[in-house]
């Protein structure tokens, strides 16, 4: 016991040092904030935050896991930013959606989160200045793109400031946690689609009812003991539901990509993406003509999607992601060449590629 007490005493001393250094760091943060205010510089610097996280990850030679280290420092950075005024972030709500979880992972617990009912509302919150950033889903690794998010970029002048990748695990939740009590299942269509096989095998005759989000489903189920919801672990905690079954998604390698939208893009980091949208003239080989400009300039396209323009029958808008930053010479050259072949071209933003 004497040896154990001595080791614990060592831990206590280290914890006291960490606390002292955190407060010392905070004093410097406040000085930086004051200097930025005098020069009319935004207090939030995503590129600086990213630089800190990358530097610490590379410098970490010990046993402490890097993913946990990054989580801790995201909270430190979030708390530091909130000392004067919390960062406001709009997201597709209600509370406890996967979008909410993605936003918290990116901006930390000290940001002020504003739940919005629709993807359009998230865009409008940023446009009006009610929030500095918005977080919206863009695609799932098994179910594909969220078309409504793509459509919003057609008319919005907002930019993509960053992206977030979140591993998605779905759970079947209910008030009682008992299979026998379930008479109907609520969830968001993409969530139930990702669990289609499991639901068919285990609840083949139970009706599945569409909800606006997984969190809205959980909220409804919290008032109905005869229903269950396909939702997140965070939703179980928020709405005080029990687990009927954990991890019911059909594919365990299930990720959703979210976009952080803002009024400005992000500076170059060295590991970036650029997203654009364009429409082409209706003629044979039109898309091939466009794509060869990217190939000629050695630009790697990581994604291409098409959507009806909604302005003219059979006219399509193409959305493209490229593994480059807009400031790079070859990117600028390719964009200029592509513009000549397009009816319309819009740069949606350059931003750091998610890990």
Dist CA 339 CA 290 (whole Å): 9
CA–centroid distance for 203 within its chain: 31
258 is catalytic: yes
HSE of 36, CA atoms in CB hemisphere, 13 A: 13
Q: Give the tokens for residue 38.
A: 């005098």
C-alpha torsion 285→286→290→292, nearest 10: 10
Considering the candidates 98, 123, 153, 258, report the single residue annotated as catalytic: 258
Residue 159: closest CA among 260, 89, 87: 260
Q: Give the tokens for residue 269.
A: 């980091």
Residues in CB range of 246: below 8 A, 6 or more apart: 169, 171, 233
289 is catalytic: no
Contact 247, 170 (CB under 8 A): yes
Contact 160, 261 (CB under 8 A): yes
Taking residue 329's Cβ as centre, other Cβ atoms within 10 Å add up to: 9
Considering the candidates 256, 294, 319, 331, report the single residue annotated as catalytic: 256
Which residues are the active-site residues?
A: 256, 258
């Amino acid at each position: 016991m004497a040896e154990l007490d001595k080791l614990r005493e060592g831990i206590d001393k280290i914890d006291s040092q960490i606390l002292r250094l955190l407060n010392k760091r905070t004093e410097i943060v406040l000085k930086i904030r004051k200097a930025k205010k005098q020069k009319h510089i935004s207090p939030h610097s995503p590129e600086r935050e990213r630089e800190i996280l990358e530097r610490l990850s590379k410098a970490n030679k010990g046993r402490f896991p890097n993913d946990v280290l990054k989580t801790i420092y995201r909270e430190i950075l979030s708390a530091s930013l909130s000392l004067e005024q919390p960062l406001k972030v709009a997201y597709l709500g209600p509370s406890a959606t996967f979008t909410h979880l993605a936003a918290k992972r990116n901006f930390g617990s000290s940001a002020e989160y504003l739940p919005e009912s629709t993807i359009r509302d998230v865009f409008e919150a940023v446009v009006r200045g009610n929030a500095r950033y918005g977080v919206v889903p863009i695609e799932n690794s098994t179910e594909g793109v969220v078309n409504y998010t793509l459509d919003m970029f057609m008319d919005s002048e907002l930019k993509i400031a960053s992206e977030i990748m979140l591993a998605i695990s779905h759970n079947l939740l209910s008030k009682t946690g008992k299979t026998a009590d379930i008479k109907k299942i609520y969830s968001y269509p993409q969530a139930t689609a990702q669990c289609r096989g499991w639901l068919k095998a285990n609840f083949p005759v139970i009706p599945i009812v569409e909800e606006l989000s997984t969190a809205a489903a959980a909220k409804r189920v919290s008032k109905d003991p005869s229903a269950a919801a396909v939702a997140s672990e965070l939703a179980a905690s928020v709405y005080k539901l029990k687990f009927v079954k954990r991890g019911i998604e059909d594919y365990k390698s299930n990720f959703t990509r979210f976009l952080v939208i803002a009024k400005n893009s992000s500076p170059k980091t060295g590991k970036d993406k650029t997203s654009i949208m364009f429409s082409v003239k209706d003629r044979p080989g039109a898309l091939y003509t466009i794509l060869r400009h990217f190939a000629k300039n050695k630009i790697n396209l990581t994604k291409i999607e098409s959507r009806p323009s909604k302005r003219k029958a059979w006219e399509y808008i193409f959305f493209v992601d490229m593994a480059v930053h807009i400031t790079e010479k070859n990117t600028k050259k390719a964009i200029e060449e592509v513009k000549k072949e397009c009816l319309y071209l819009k740069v949606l933003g350059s931003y750091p590629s998610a890990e």
